[in-house]
Amino acid sequence: MFKVVGRERVGRSRYSRYIVMFSTRWPEGARSVYLVSTFTSLYPGRFELARFRDKGILMLSLWDDLYPYWFSVNGFSLDLDGDNDERVQVRLAGLERPLEASLARIGVNDYAMASSGLRDWVDLVVHDERSPIFISKMEEYTVLRLWLPRGVVDNVILEYKGSGQGGFVESDMELVGRSRYKDYYEVWVKGGVEGYLFKLRVDGKVVLFGRDGVGDGAPITPGVPLGYNEIPWWVGATYYMVFVDSFERAIEKKGVKLIDVYEPREPGYYGGDLIGLLRRIDHVKWLGFDALYLTPIYVSASYHRYDVIDHFSVDPLLGGEEAFEKLLEVLRSNELKLVLDIVVHHTSPCHKSFLELLNKDVNRMYRLVRRVGEVEERVLRKLGEFIDRGCRGRIGLEHERKPFYESFASTWHMPKLDHSKSHVRSYVKRILSHWLKKGADGFRFDVGHAIPDGFMKEYYDHVKRVKGDAVVIAEVTVGVDSYPLGTTMDSATNYDLRENLVKFFVLRELNAHDMEGLLAKQYSRIPVTSALSLINLLGSHDTPRIKTIAMECYPDCIKRMYFTLFILPGAPAIYYGDEIGMEGSGDPDCRRPMIWDVDRWDKDLLNYIKRLLDVRRRLKALRYGSFKVRALDEDTMAVYRSYEGEHVLGIVTREKRVNSVELGLGGVREVLVGSVNYGNVVLEGGVALLMI
């Protein structure tokens, strides 16, 4: 069952998140029970129920929202809540049909009723100075936010005393955007802030919101806001994402069979390596990216290398340590950063610690459901045979039963590490130190969404101690704005944005008003520096190619999606080959070898993306700027970005019939895309970009 048991209190009459209890009867034979929801990326691992006699209980603080959820026994199952009859259909990656989930409504009815005038709204105004979501530093700016039920105020003014100022001054807050039941406000003020309160204009009257909430005029005193005095390199950066085995083959491969069917791609080695990547680095540099992201390069059992055997060595099939050193040298000379995919959620059964578990029944690393001594001899024999083959091929147990250990996606091939063990955490920190000292500029944590927050925080702090300007990115496949960005990770993969762009431009399941709400909500629920660093993507090695998804509206809708990607806050990332219009369905077909025959390239799309990269590099407002979004009609959105006197307006529509937008603009400084005719914006290919 779930039950809202209260709200976090910030002031005497000021509140923050809802406090929610989830509980279930403890299943017989369960080693662990996880809560699975959008705030765990629909994957078990982040939150585990504590056992009290015959029950499992978990207390969480959550923002108001609709949350589908399940209980997962040992990470293998997705079980409905038998004490909650409300259900919802959820689409999970890899499943053809939606799966039924239990539904938790947290605070949504409060905001719906308040925005409709059916309940008082004063306890639903939210600002929490303890959280970097609501107050943080961005270079010389302090960024403050306030959330309210939709439509209850006309506007908001911040009254504040800046560091070293003699008295209080005022600054208008901007309406970032509106969701169905909420308004999100933000203001950027120069310098530090010692105290502040909010002035809410309601029906022509001013209502104060201070330390104890609505009606209180006592200033709020902040702590030291999280953030950066100097903007880190990854804020607003651009990434080129390479699946290493598929990019370019340059050296002879011994001991492995290479695939010979590329379209559609079969699982197995194509044979790409780091030397091949070096030969093609000019392509990445010509496009104008800031950073290169590589899928795993470690000694592993498979072509994708997510089943790691040795975390400290570069796979000889990729060219080994020498090739890695050459790659670093070339990247440095070309001013390109290097982000490595780090795999510490699980390992291969061929990992030395798993061999120790099987051979000596000594478990220093893994999350077991049963001890080795309790496992059938036949199962251990098949595992041993699989290990003797270098952990390649099938084990022969895949369809019989679940492993005796927790694992990635319930597979026998990837046993899960137990981060509650100090030995595991020490091991992970040694891995991080090793590659940072080698020259890596940061990491993308594979399955980072399933590593508990406390342990991610420990790894984050370790990375910053070793190399302060290294970036920590977590793989988050769903619910990125439910993770504590800014404290356990700098950035995360923004698959939510990808899904919403596809639903808006391709499937037309969302309209522009829906998009305004989704974009404003996501941006406002993430600390500003992290919101400006989200890995915004349309494709990756885990998703079908964007061209294949959008074939019926190609190329127009894809160009408009890329345009939107590049004008929104975040760090745009292009998956290798998407820039030339490569196709491919789900894994492994999305990992086809890169096409180097330029006659097969979509050169128009390539030049369009290069143009977007050039504009992004030129305009600081697109990299570092504040954000507002407005739905102009059902099909058209306007995005406003501003930084240091540079103001940019982007407009995008999904409708071919929309050729211009009546905004009555005056004083346009420069037109980058489209044109302006008597104050109206004329679109070019469904988009326009102006400096105003």
- How large is the angle between the packed helices 556-567 and 603-618, nearest 10 degrees? 10
Is 246 within 8 Å of 589 (Cβ atoms)?
no
Average pLDDT of the chain is: 96
Query: What 8-state DSSP symbol labels residue 568?
Result: S
Q: What is the pLDDT of residue 96?
A: 80
Separation of alpha carbons 269 and 302, rounded Å: 8
pLDDT tens track for 263-319: 999 999 999 999 999 999 999 999 999 999 999 999 999 999 999 999 999 999 999
195: enclosing H helix or E strand: strand 193-202
Q: Kindly report the CATH number that applies to the domain delimited by 2-106.
A: 2.60.40.10
Q: What is the pLDDT of residue 74?
A: 96
188: enclosing H helix or E strand: strand 182-190
pLDDT tens track for 470-516: 999 999 999 999 999 999 999 999 999 999 999 999 999 999 999 99
pLDDT tens track for 31-54: 999 999 999 999 999 999 999 999
Is 425 within 8 Å of 454 (Cβ atoms)?
no
pLDDT tens track for 198-244: 999 999 999 999 999 999 999 999 988 888 889 999 999 999 999 99
pLDDT tens track for 53-98: 999 999 999 999 999 999 999 999 999 999 999 999 999 887 789 9
Does 136 score more than 90 pLDDT?
Answer: yes
Does 678 score more than 90 pLDDT?
Answer: no
Q: What is the pLDDT of residue 122?
A: 96
- How large is the angle between the packed helices 453-466 and 422-438, nearest 10 degrees? 30
Q: What is the pLDDT of residue 568?
A: 98
pTM value is: 0.96
What residues contact residue 437 under an 8 Å CB cut-off, 6+ apart?
A: 466
- How large is the angle between the packed helices 377-388 and 352-360, nearest 10 degrees? 150
Burial 336-356 (b: 16+ CB within 10 A, else e): bbbbbbbbbbbbbbbbebbee
Identical fold, 120-226 and 624-691: yes
Establish whether the linkage from the previous residue to 219 is cis, with ω within 30° of 0: no
Superfamily for 120-226?
A: Immunoglobulins (2.60.40.10)
Domain 239-345+418-618's class?
A: alpha beta
pLDDT tens track for 92-122: 887 789 999 999 999 999 999 999 999 999 9
Q: What is the pLDDT of residue 461?
A: 98
Q: What is the pLDDT of residue 194?
A: 94
Q: What is the pLDDT of residue 36?
A: 98
Does 343 score more than 80 pLDDT?
Answer: yes
Is 213 within 8 Å of 120 (Cβ atoms)?
no
Does 628 score more than 80 pLDDT?
Answer: yes
Q: What is the pLDDT of residue 320?
A: 97
Is 36 within 8 Å of 42 (Cβ atoms)?
yes
Establish whether the linkage from the previous residue to 555 is cis, with ω within 30° of 0: yes
How far, in Å, are 133, 134, 338, 531, 639 from residue 524 at the CA level? Answer: 7, 8, 29, 8, 15
Does 330 score more than 90 pLDDT?
Answer: yes
Per domain, the residue ranges of the chain are 2-106, 120-226, 239-345+418-618, 352-410, 624-691
pLDDT tens track for 186-202: 999 999 999 999 999 99
- Assign 586 a pLDDT band (cuts: 50, 70, 90): very high
Domain 624-691's class?
A: mainly beta
Residue 250, amino acid: A
Provide mean pLDDT across the span 521-530: 98
Q: What is the pLDDT of residue 400?
A: 79
Q: Is 295 exposed, middle or buried (0-12, 13-18, 19+ CB in 10 A)?
A: buried
